Structure 1
Amino acid sequence: MAGGQRAATRRSGAPLRRVPVQERSAARVQRMLDACADLVDELGYDGLTTTLLAERAGVAIGSVYQFFPDKRAVVQALTLRNLETYLGRIGHRFGEGGFTHWWDGVDAVIDEYVTMQRHTPGFRGLHFGDIVDVHLLDPELDNNAVIVRELRDLLVRQFELTADERLDFALTVAVETGDALIKLAFRRAPDGDPGVIAEAKTLIRQYLSGYVRD
């Protein structure tokens, strides 16, 4: 989780009007984010309203606006929470050890993304925010570029890879390719077509093997 927390603190333009200090307020904000995730699954982003959000979370509409200026900000906060969860899950997998090569780490990155697509409310409808704004995670970088930066840092720390422009370029292509193929997998089957997911792993391994210098 520490990696995700660092990622969040590096970004400007935080979606919250104010950070909840009291435990009760923090819990209320989390209920709002949970409600947002459920409503995005049910209605999509366009169907989400702050009124529905307040009703689902069991809070007054004023409580929503106390912390968020609009529904976009709520979705941005949910997306940042999903990113922290994703990076935390990958960091945990890396921390467990057992990887003999960097491509085992790449497989873990894909596996955790697929798991969140299957089981994390709101994630399939939002991914990392592109459905709302390609700059939802960072005002200066597109959303996948943020993912590339965070994955690069994890892979470099774990496998002592050479951090350079060559690696950044390769990971950018790999992330864009993997994102497209996993979306295809979930269009073909509700839980993700396992054949497409396996092909995504193979393709990305083969591609990165020509770029990554360890």
Structure 2
Amino acid sequence: MESQGVRRTPVQQRSRERVERILDACAELLDEVGSDDLTITEVARRAGVPTGTVYQFFEGRLGLLRQLALRHLDVLIGRLRARAAGEPGLTWPHAGEIVIDETVQMRRLIPGFTVVDFGEARPGGEKYLPEGTTEAGGDILAERLYRFAVDEAGLPPLADPYRVTSLAIQAAAAGLELAFRTSREGDTAMIEQTRRLLAAYFADAARRSRADPPGREGPALTERDGGQ
């Protein structure tokens, strides 16, 4: 797997707090100036640390953005875990709606998330999140969301799960990009259309999987580093 953007993982509490302060400063500045005008110098100034400290922990500007995206992913999984705990009898269509709901709230509330969610750093460029580990082409977002859904939320396995999940992510990202193009709060009608799209897609995927039940891992989950 490619680097996640970190040069050195902090061990001491003081260093961990400094890293979180750097990420917080990065997120705040993204909302103010956008990713193109973000500089390490300004992040360091906002965080109250020397510029060299940022480079001590992160592999430059892209490494900092990648780590922020991974922190956002951890927050999303935590929010989904809390929602799933209060949703007995969860289904794939409703799970898709919950993902949209929580992502929308993160876009509205969490600094930097609208600029750095989980997409590419720029069209045709490097991704914020690292590649996944399966030949099906999923990234870390697709893999973590699917494994959470099956292993923690108790949803039934899907056939060809990472392709299904990856396509759902791309479709949802397109819908939310339209919804939030001109407003921090988002176009509620476009958000609802995106919820309906994802629910219908997962309903079809679940129906097909029941008709042709996958194995525990489903097809096309061969590990790149030596699987089947």
TM range (shorter): 0.7 to 0.9
Q: Which residue of 1 is the match for residue 198 of structure 2?
A: 204
Aligned 8 A contact 2:39 2:61 in 1: yes
Secondary structure of 1:45's match? coil
CA distance in 1, matches of 2:45, 2:21: 11
Q: 1:90 to 1:134 in 2, by over 3 A?
A: farther
Aligned 8 A contact 1:178 1:204 in 2: yes
Deviation at 1:99, TM superposition (A): 4.5
Aligned 8 A contact 2:93 2:199 in 1: yes
CA distance in 2, matches of 1:131, 1:123: 13
Secondary structure of 1:187's match? coil
Letter in 2 for 1:177: A
Say how many residue pairs are matched. Answer: 203
Aligned 8 A contact 1:135 1:143 in 2: no
Higher share in helix: 1
Q: 1:172 to 1:129 in 2, by over 3 A?
A: closer
- Please, which of 129, 150, 159 is the counterpart of residue 156 of structure 1? 150
CA distance in 1, matches of 2:204, 2:156: 13
Q: Which residue of 2 is the match for residue 30 of structure 1?
A: 20
Aligned 8 A contact 1:90 1:108 in 2: yes
TM-score of the two chains, using structure 1 as the length reference = 0.85
CA distance in 2, matches of 1:96, 1:134: 37
Identity %: 33
Deviation at 1:172, TM superposition (A): 2.5
* Segments ≥4 residues shifted beyond 6 Å: 141-144
Q: 1:168 to 1:45 in 2, by over 3 A?
A: same
Q: 1:168 to 1:21 in 2, by over 3 A?
A: closer
Letter in 1 for 2:23: L
CA distance in 1, matches of 2:167, 2:118: 17
Unaligned stretches of 5+ residues in structure 2: 211-228
Unaligned stretches of 5+ residues in structure 1: 1-10
Deviation at 1:80, TM superposition (A): 0.9
Deviation at 1:119, TM superposition (A): 0.7
Aligned 8 A contact 1:170 1:211 in 2: yes
- Please, which of 176, 179, 187 is the counterpart of residue 173 of structure 2? 179
TM-score of the two chains, using structure 2 as the length reference = 0.80
Letter in 1 for 2:165: L
Deviation at 1:41, TM superposition (A): 1.0
Deviation at 1:188, TM superposition (A): 4.7
Q: 1:21 to 1:70 in 2, by over 3 A?
A: same
State the Cα RMSD in Å.
2.3
Aligned 8 A contact 1:12 1:138 in 2: yes
Q: 1:110 to 1:176 in 2, by over 3 A?
A: same
Aligned 8 A contact 1:152 1:171 in 2: yes
CA distance in 1, matches of 2:182, 2:5: 34
- Please, which of 15, 20, 25 is the counterpart of residue 5 of structure 2? 15
Q: Which residue of 2 is the match for residue 110 of structure 1?
A: 100
